Homo-oligomer: A and B are copies of this chain.
Amino acid sequence: MKYFKPIYIMALLTGGLVMADSSEAALFTVNNTWMLVSTILVFIMHLGFATLESGLTRAKNTVNILFKNVSIIAIGLLTYAICGFNLMYPGEFSLGGVFGFAGWGISVPQGAAGLVEYADGAYTYFTDFIFQAMFAATAATIVSGAVAERVKLGSFLIFSTLYVAFIYPIAGSWKWGAGWLDQIGFYDFAGSTLVHSVGGWAALVGAVVLGPRIGKYGRNGKGTIPIMGHSMPLATIGVFLLWFGWYGFNGGSVLSADPGPVSFVFVTTTLAAAAGVIGAMTLSWTISKKPDLSMVLNGSLAGLVGITAGADVISPMNAVIVGYIAGLLVVSSVMFFDRLKIDDPVGAVSVHLTCGIWGTLAVGIFSPEHQFLTQLIGVGAYGLFCFVSALGLFYGIKTAIGLRVSEQEELGGLDLGEHEMEAYAGFQIFTVE
């Protein structure tokens, strides 16, 4: 028989694991394991974002985008440990369902309290923290795509740190932390609003405050000129990884491995994503006469964002409808924002905000237990809070240290400007047009 490595702290940790009988222990273990697997799946979504965003932008800004994505996850995880977790799940609110804070740092409840009793035998304190921490960084990452190719690195990192450390968890506490929106019956299963719209609003504000990239809306008013992403394979890798991770994002949001709900959520999530692809394909093919890969990729994400709020309460058939409509919406939304001359290089606003709102409202439409009006109130409340916060932060930073790189740096690329580095050393890349 093989030898086992002794794990000292294990004894300490499992000391509390005295359960009525060992079958409870088994159920506890499988629930917890599924939550950890979901955590890993949500983690890899950050690679999905990194590759999607760099694929849909130009080669001269690739190092910059990758750098931002690697930094954000690190910052997001650490700030969530420092204060985010305790802002989002304050236990008690000091300010009537709107603000609460359970103290700095992560504090391990001793013995069984942190383990089996912590969540009625569904998962441990540590599992709870790490699963939620992986979600946190997502909101900031969404912004990164919309402000790409022109935002100063330092300014963006400051914005992200503040947004992810304070705005995201406070907003989250209103619903998931049992705050006021939860009390009035607002529903958002895995975060169409709490994660995607929260990121999407900041993305919108960022894109507006920064203004469009040079050349996007024509020199001398020559109309909108597409600025092609430099690598469709990278973008495709990103979308598949996001879809892949979404099984943890939605599946893990069941907060246990309960076979019924988890498998149900898998089905709705999958069908919505597939329908999003078809929705985006039909609309973009009709409008542009040619099948546009970048739109179809966005379509699957649209379907996923759309079903996220109601993945456990919308039937498979209706999930197809929600996803299909999200696919239509994302294409229309991209074109709409272009008409407004709001330049969002990767379509982050259309995917996460437009479809996040749609998904949240869809719960009010397709789930009999939920009310459209309450959902609308939730959407409005989050919109207001995030819009104002993001605007405040962006303007503050703009005033203090500036937001946008110089014209010359933008033309030459942020990789050389901000990093003095190239993403594809040796490759011949035409930097004209």
User: Which residue of the partner chain, among B7, B32, B253, B428, contacts A259 with CB atoms under 8 Å?
Assistant: B32
Asked if B424 and A127 sit within 8 Å, CB to CB, the answer is no
For the side of the interface on A, what is the size category? 35 or more
User: Which residue of the partner chain, among B106, B231, B313, B419, contacts A233 with CB atoms under 8 Å?
Assistant: B231
Which of chain A's residues 48-78 have a Cβ closer than 8 Å to chain B? 50-51, 54, 58-60, 62-63, 66-67, 69-71, 73-75, 77-78
Asked if A427 and B59 sit within 8 Å, CB to CB, the answer is yes
Asked if A32 and B316 sit within 8 Å, CB to CB, the answer is no
Q: Does A266 contact B (CB under 8 A)?
A: yes
User: Which residue of the partner chain, among B5, B59, B228, B427, contacts A429 with CB atoms under 8 Å?
Assistant: B427
Known: A43-B243, A231-B233, A274-B73. A29 touches B257 (CB 8 A): yes
A50 CA / B2 CA spacing, docked (Å):
31
The smallest C-beta distance from A134 to any residue of chain B, in angstroms, reads 8
User: Which residue of the partner chain, among B115, B176, B240, B422, contacts A44 with CB atoms under 8 Å?
Assistant: B240
Asked if B7 and A292 sit within 8 Å, CB to CB, the answer is no
Known: A118-B1, A259-B28. A81 touches B271 (CB 8 A): yes
Q: Does A195 contact B (CB under 8 A)?
A: no
Q: Does A423 contact B (CB under 8 A)?
A: yes
Asked if A77 and B271 sit within 8 Å, CB to CB, the answer is yes
Please give me the residue from chain B that is nearest to A430 by CB atom.
B426
Residues in B neighbouring A62, C-beta threshold 8 A? 232-233
A129 CA / B263 CA spacing, docked (Å):
9
A317 CA / B60 CA spacing, docked (Å):
38
The smallest C-beta distance from A144 to any residue of chain B, in angstroms, reads 14
Looking at chain A's contact residues, is the secondary structure mostly helix, strand, loop, or mixed?
A: helix
Please give me the residue from chain B that is nearest to A422 by CB atom.
B228
Known: A23-B22, A427-B427. A291 touches B67 (CB 8 A): yes
How many copies, total? 3
Q: Does A321 contact B (CB under 8 A)?
A: no
Known: A176-B3, A270-B133, A312-B7. A66 touches B233 (CB 8 A): yes
Asked if B232 and A63 sit within 8 Å, CB to CB, the answer is yes
A295 CA / B247 CA spacing, docked (Å):
32
Asked if B266 and A8 sit within 8 Å, CB to CB, the answer is no
Q: Does A30 contact B (CB under 8 A)?
A: yes
Known: A59-B426, A296-B67. A260 touches B291 (CB 8 A): no
Asked if A270 and B77 sit within 8 Å, CB to CB, the answer is yes
Which of chain A's residues 225-262 have a Cβ closer than 8 Å to chain B? 228-234, 236-237, 239-241, 243-244, 247, 251, 253-255, 257-262
Residues in B neighbouring A294, C-beta threshold 8 A? 421
Residues in B neighbouring A36, C-beta threshold 8 A? 247, 251, 262-263, 266
Please give me the residue from chain B that is nearest to A327 by CB atom.
B74
